Chain A
């Protein structure tokens, strides 16, 4: 109890509250602008959190994460364009509601559903995260290695369209993190004798380069091709649903919140999957399924509850095991690391106060989200009118200064430029960028735990199958990758058969 009160004193101090509010505002803005994801906002915010104390820094990061997840619903409802992939399912009924003149109520309902989903997921997280962490405390290097490899295997879920390209991305991320001084034996690796390379590639520099720079380039390309144009939006306000409306959808919201939390807890899944599953569930369980897609409020409630519940779910493996499940939590992890908080089971022993601060920051962030969305909806409508290429100019400045602020080094700024160009090239040839981040984040720990386990077992690799948890985790990783390989092979064979049939049907007529 004392610990909670002390944490409350720190987390609810004016500076911390202001940081959560600022983060939430930034997250909602980035989430609300189609194409500008809140992952970009998080990559830009992490270097800014350097100069802050731990509590405001945590608040800034969590506020950006939670605000971003919620902000995506604004353009989804008003314009029919999801601000974030997680809000894609909200478009299905949110936009028809706007066309029927119910935009204000849809926006208000989305805000309430989002906050409900987030708070329920927080409760589930608080209950479960400690148990998972206690279990993980019994792990030695071999078990931790197995767990990390299992986390890395979620690359398959993040690989989007091609498993080979996803694996290439993951390996590239792991490779980058081996550059610099080897932390176990102090040997220089791929530094080419230069001093600047000895400290390796900064994780934050890589994140800014991977997420923000390609976005800026795309915004400029769109400008030259006359790409996306935002149509005029009428002035709206957010109108809260009545108590009767909330009670009518209460059980649906609860079910979707639990579904979203569960999905979020599985690394590699995330908001879009949870939102679409919740939408399908709402339609199936509705007495009026035929009204879905035409402006049914439950079609907004379900995805918005579920995608926000993902935030609490994703925090379970992040805090208890140190495994991020998506790019946003990977950036959150790096932000926590900068402030000396190492997510994983030891965090609960070494920094119990900070754990409570995280819980409180999440609650404050959800309260801020509700306040900001209800009061500031007209402001977001104005922001939506600003052309994307002009916003991108501001992002260039944030990218460069953010990279500079990490170590006050121009080398880091130039690294962002070089890595950004490379990231854009990889993106253009279809290599997904998210698995690179997972490789960057998990790489050093995987190598360290593997080598420590091998040293302790005097070079006997059977240590990885001799321990039941290690064997289970490694088995699961093999199963996940194996399943994906089989699925990808089948899909390729099926596509080839279709192509063969098509060419066979063309040949006789020639």
Chain B
């Protein structure tokens, strides 16, 4: 047996297990916290039955992983996912880095304003996450993206640009 079906079954097992636990927690929370309403189909019905549906489907997925059902004949992936050979640690690191950058950038925008926050975020991403060492690329992209976005969104589209509560340049 090739390693690919094994990997697929392991993923089914993990996904099915996690989703089953999530569905059970969801259903229990809905039952405890959402009132049934005045008639049979009140505010509780939809989230409750959706939770049950997810639990059933997750159990099927979990069972498939446990039983080792082979993936359907037409389920071969012609287009392998990005970096199919990359280590799990690096992948998790990059997920954390990207999502962390987005969250930190959101907070920074409010604290130091759009322009400095954007320039800082772009430069930090290029240097720390992508290992870019060419100063011209780093400075050019940081300033280019920050000023370009400020002009496009703030000046052309007239969208609100956060000014910053700690420092405010504009």
Chain A interface residues (CB < 8 Å from chain B):
48, 50-52, 161-162, 164-165, 167-168, 171-172, 174-175, 178, 182, 184-185, 187-190, 213, 216-225, 227, 389-390, 393-394, 396-401, 403-405, 408, 410, 413-414, 416-418, 420-421, 424-431, 447, 450-451, 454-455, 459, 488, 491-492, 494-496, 498-499, 503
Contact = CB atoms under 8 A, between A and B. Distances in A.
Contact of B75 (A161, A217, A459): A161
Contact of A165 (B33, B43, B61, B126): B61
A175 B75 contact: no
A491 B98 contact: no
A179 to B, nearest CB: 8
A488 B71 CA distance: 10
Interface string B110-152: 1000100010011001100110000001000100010001000
Interface string B14-39: 11000100000010011001110111
Given A52-B157, A222-B83, A393-B145, 11 more contacts: A162-B75, A164-B61, A213-B102, A220-B94, A220-B130, A405-B159, A413-B105, A418-B103, A420-B102, A430-B11, A459-B39
Given A393-B145, A429-B14, A430-B8, A48 B105 contact: no
Contacts of B4: none
B82 A222 contact: yes
Contact of B34 (A189, A404, A459, A491): A189
Contact of B149 (A168, A223, A401): A401
B169 interface: no
B57 A171 contact: yes
Contact of A220 (B40, B58, B97): B97
Determine which residue in A221, A390, A459 has the highest number of CB atoms from chain B within 10 A of its CB, and name it.
Answer: A221
Interface of B: 1, 8, 11-12, 14-15, 19, 26, 29-30, 33-35, 37-43, 45-47, 50-51, 53-54, 57-58, 60-61, 64, 69-75, 77, 81-83, 85-86, 90-91, 94-103, 105-107, 109-110, 114, 118, 121-122, 125-126, 129-130, 137, 141, 145, 149, 153, 157-160, 162
A413 B102 contact: yes
A486 to B, nearest CB: 12
A420 B98 contact: yes
Contact of A495 (B47, B54, B70, B157): B70
Contacts of A408: 160, 162
29 contacts: A51-B158, A161-B72, A162-B72, A164-B57, A168-B54, A171-B50, A174-B46, A182-B43, A187-B42, A213-B102, A218-B81, A221-B86, A224-B86, A227-B83, A390-B126, A400-B102, A401-B153, A408-B160, A413-B102, A413-B109, A420-B99, A421-B96, A428-B91, A429-B11, A429-B15, A450-B46, A491-B75, A495-B75, A499-B70
Contacts of B97: 220
Nearest to A216: B98
Given A168-B58, A393-B122, A185 B71 contact: no
B83 A417 contact: no
A73 to B, nearest CB: 19
Given A171-B53, A398-B149, A217 B98 contact: yes
A404 B82 contact: no
A504 B106 CA distance: 58
Nearest to A430: B11
B43 to A, nearest CB: 4
Nearest to A453: B41
B70 A417 contact: no
Contacts of A187: 34-35, 37, 42-43
Contacts of B33: 189-190
B46 A454 contact: no
Contact of A48 (B12, B60, B103, B153): B153
Contacts of B73: 491, 494-495, 498
B109 A492 contact: no
A430 B39 contact: no
A431 B69 CA distance: 17
Which of A168, A428, A431: most chain B CB closer than 10 A?
A: A168
Given A48-B153, A488-B72, A393 B106 contact: no
Contact of B39 (A413, A426, A455): A455
Contacts of B95: 217, 421, 424-425
B15 A178 contact: no
A224 B132 CA distance: 12
Nearest to A186: B43
A397 B83 CA distance: 23
Chain A, interface SS category: helix
B26 to A, nearest CB: 7
A57 B144 CA distance: 25
Given A187-B35, A220-B94, A401-B153, A51 B159 contact: yes
Nearest to A49: B157
B145 A397 contact: yes
B50 A175 contact: yes
B43 A417 contact: no
A495 B71 contact: yes
Nearest to A162: B75
Given A218-B82, A410-B107, A189 B47 contact: yes
Contacts of B160: 405, 408
Contacts of A390: 126, 137, 141
A427 B81 CA distance: 9
A459 B107 CA distance: 48
Given A190-B33, A393-B130, A174 B50 contact: yes
Given A227-B83, A393-B130, A404 B106 contact: yes
Contact of B83 (A174, A221, A455): A221
Interface centre among B34, B58, B159, by most chain A C-beta atoms within 10 angstroms, is B159
Contact of B110 (A188, A410, A451, A496): A410
A401 B154 CA distance: 11
B83 A225 contact: yes
A117 B148 CA distance: 35
Nearest to B142: A393
